[in-house]
Structure 1
Amino acid sequence: MPPRNLLARWTELFVHTLIESGVARFVVSPGSRSTPLVLALAGAGIELTVVRDERAAAFFALGMVRVTGRPVAVVCTSGTAPGHYLPAVMEARASRLPLLMITADRPGELHGMAAPQTAAQDHLFGAHAVGYFDLGTPDPAPAALAGLRRVAAQAVLRSTYPEAGPVQVNLRARKPLEPGPDESPEGSALDATVAALLARPCPAAIAPAMAPHPSAVAALDAALAKSARPLFVCGPTVHLDPARAAEIAGLAERVGAPLLAEAGSQLRFGAAARGVLDGYDVVLRSPGAVTVAPSRPIGTTASTFATFDKASCTLLKSSMRPMSSAPMKPPPNRASWSLPLAE
């Protein structure tokens, strides 16, 4: 195969790095400016789903994240297209779901001159995204190509650590967008550089392991020990490791606590589901201690939970960031702890 042009090789290197970094599924909403990305994905032999509407595509991707627990990428063209991702981005941030928004963009010289399908896409999702990376326009310099690979790996890591959430990656593309041949000496040199980079291992982006703090474990143990009627309420979760589910169910059994799992909790499935209560309005009337793991309950459970006026509450979280914009303040006459534990 003859050497291909810079844009084709740039997007190929980017896509392969995302895949090597753990992104196994992509949801594409077709458009002109994202053509190089889609062609690179098609050539990579990866699982690719086409959803024409960007809003629907983003929520479809969130469903994939909830099932697999792995980052999923959505790809769209420039202009107003990425704006339709916003509702799903807000959901991903609130639910701590690793979603990558790959937004194709026009080059800098087309901004500010009324070019069609051109909008300011920098930090488009503002505070709703946990990260933003701008790849700039393709550059054949070896250092720029190596940097592209590093940034792609960093973007995937940021979507999962220190707290999972949506990350935008903006890629500016100049025409021609099609992968035409480039048989010049520069094209051959570019081809060799990209091939050498792909032959090397992907840049390692490894998150440190999180572990419970001893003081948090001691506080939880003390709260459960002095409770006559402990109660475990399990809110919605993404993919939950069976071993972790067994640990939660085992702890509830040891302390004699009913285990209430909402419809969105993965504790309703697998071996741990044997100890889960479905109809639990009766046991919610007067608990002595409430342990919420790993996220705050929603729906009618949350409203009932808020009326407890004599129960102590222990909220198990993976970070100290509030899970909503509302202040985390307990009702009157109820003590509360927020214990940072590993997910």
Structure 2
Amino acid sequence: MTTFPPTQVRARLGISPREVGRPYQIILITGASSGLGAALARVMARPGRFLALTARRVDRLHRVAQEARERGAETLEIPADLSISSGPRIILEKTLDAFGGLDVLVNNAGLGLPQLFHGTESQALRSQIEVNFTAPLMLTHRALPHLIARKGMVINISSAITSVPIPFLGAYGATKAGLSYWNDALRREVAHLGVRVCLVEPGPIQTEFHEALVERAGGERQLAETMDPPPFLTARVDDVAQRVASLLDRPRRRIAPLRRMTVPWDWLGALFRLVPPLGDAVAQAAIRRYAHNQEIASPTRGDTPLDNVSYQRLQAGLPTRPVRTSFHDGSAQSNPRD
């Protein structure tokens, strides 16, 4: 993909006319402060590339941008919150103002809350839907005219979890399944306009995401054991980032990096679809074990009595302390709208 920054941007960045023949790519990455988003920023950074990096945590975003600049890329830091409706508009406006166009949009930011659906607070559900599904659609919708003009690319980060419905991540998995469906529909819609749309469905990755999940669940050991995959099924984040970055040179409809990490999920999902009672039995056994360990039948936790509010939260599947939410990029916050 060969594109060129407009004349005024080249002048502002000190690019001489002799350098215009070099390939320039203007890339916007969401959720870029840590995890896969930060790894993508590092891997995609090189001389002649312009990276717009967005996340909520300013300090960590600045460190990632500095690393990208050290690798030769021009960077733009955009602190923004995708859980609010104005987030996509602000991000795109700042990117276009700084770089004059857009070649590649990477919808990477994600939010997962490991709670049983019946005990999840409504705001937690809304936040997952807004960050994981609504924001990528709205950001892409605003960016499409610019991507069409430059025959660009959209890369959507989904998840292999869509193969196996997991009760603790029901809302998260549903948003990722919706993202995958929309990705395929969009790919077919804009292919004749020269825009490539690629879906990435990684399995478990060695990032902060799992630790953040455990923290948001109240640090329960049983939940950690339920959600934590074995090491041999967990990919290194840099390896996954390299595979995603390869799409810039060789676009594909769908990749599942690393394949050896995602095949077990595919097989397990196929088995549960072939024998639905087996999948139901496995999930129900996990829920019963979790409920037992949470002592739902008793208004105490260990030797500590619980007040009525805490006991009601425990019965509903909620931790007895305020939930902290965090994005797929590893960021955490007490209130998603702060």
Give TM-score scaled by structure 2 length. 0.28
Which is higher, the Rg of structure 1 or of structure 2? 1
Give TM-score scaled by structure 1 length. 0.28
> Quick check: which one's helix share is greater?
2
Kindly indicate whether structure 1 or structure 2 has the higher relative contact order, using CA contacts under 8 Å at least 6 residues apart. Answer: 2
